[in-house]
Structure 1
């Protein structure tokens, strides 16, 4: 079996596992007074997903012809397995959802940009809000203590507006902020590039007529 065939077979199960992880991760963050037994169960689900992603990575590395190059190209998969102790960074597991976007996107450049930008913006805001709330809500100096605060902060950060009325004070929260800033810059660049490409295409089409 080739690594490509394994990836195709594992794609849907990994997406379902990523969604299960999202639920297991989000419930304790949104409701800190969760039932202890339920919280234990959700923690077990989270670690089970980590084990599944670790097994998937090991299998893909075993099947790859050039393992070092494959690991470098799929650095995010390595990161989600290697950094399980940093709770907000566990959301890297949801990058499995991105794998299916390339197949579902339209074949045209405009269609791909639309799908990627919409998906990236939605995921960045929602997951960024969850991650920063998880990192911040128990800190005594935190000003991001509710999901509403976190969602507002994520929106202003990913759009590069940055009002400054809400900001992370913990180390993990600032790591999340840096990642969200980079995503925001990338989204702005993608939109600008797609508009410029569309305009150039229209100009060339008119000249060809």
Structure 2
């Protein structure tokens, strides 16, 4: 069977996937500088410039892909809902790390990794990226509220760790509407990522034990020629 020919929007996506991944990391860096560089207006200005510049790249990419697909805008948005969400929240762009990994492997002519390592790697990287992004967002919105217990970025990181792991000690919690919305999104993401990791690890263990059962018990270690 012959593979279907690559469409123009698919070709565009394949060529831009890796550059836009690094652009998303640049966006996250610029946003971090914007939030954390208090008292340094020059650095904050550079962070804002980097953030807006990379955000513009995501918008242009989305519009170009929509035009190349020749689909109606609403249909394209429904089919590419994650890409549509990335345009609104560019910090989510690194969640496409699976496609980026496959693009790197394809360029180097390496076979794709197994399913379980890919799922665990994806979940781990997603947790780190979501956690850092969420900590920045919570700190940005909570630090100016006098009723909030989150006074430092360390407090925000601790809050995010509790939220993603679904522990929830409750000693540090957001009080603003935006902070609570971010925390809610992290709760849902934490449950999904934790389920993906535990499910993949359990399936891998089952496969290992099944393979050992099929091979049978090891033979007795009697030496050759010994009397039976």
In the superposition, the TM-score normalised over structure 1's length comes to 0.85
Match of 2:12 among 6, 21, 31: 6
Instruction: Provide the rounded CA distance (Å) in 2 between the counterparts of 1:188 and 1:79.
Output: 22
Match of 2:182 among 156, 160, 176: 176
Q: Is the counterpart of residue 75 in structure 1 residue 81 in structure 2?
A: yes
Cα distance change on mapping 1:92 and 1:118 into 2, 3 Å: closer
Q: How big is each residue's C-alpha offset from its partner over 1:120-143, in whole Å with a ceiling of 9 and x where there is no partner?
A: 121122221111111111112111
Instruction: Provide the rounded CA distance (Å) in 2 between the counterparts of 1:102 and 1:141.
Output: 46
2:69 matched residue in structure 1? 64
Instruction: Provide the rounded CA distance (Å) in 1 between the counterparts of 2:115 and 2:32.
Output: 34
Of Structure 1 and Structure 2, the greater helix share is in 1
Instruction: Provide the rounded CA distance (Å) in 2 between the counterparts of 1:21 and 1:162.
Output: 29
Cα distance change on mapping 1:104 and 1:120 into 2, 3 Å: farther
Secondary structure, aligned partner of 1:166: coil
2:92 matched residue in structure 1? 92
Instruction: Provide the rounded CA distance (Å) in 1 between the counterparts of 2:102 and 2:207.
Output: 23
Give the CA RMSD over aligned residues. Answer: 2.3
Cα pair 2:31 2:47 within 8 Å, conserved:
yes
| Runs of 5+ unmatched residues, structure 1 | 84-88
| Runs of 5+ unmatched residues, structure 2 | 1-6, 106-111, 216-228
Q: Is the counterpart of residue 128 in structure 1 residue 134 in structure 2?
A: yes
In the superposition, the TM-score normalised over structure 2's length comes to 0.78
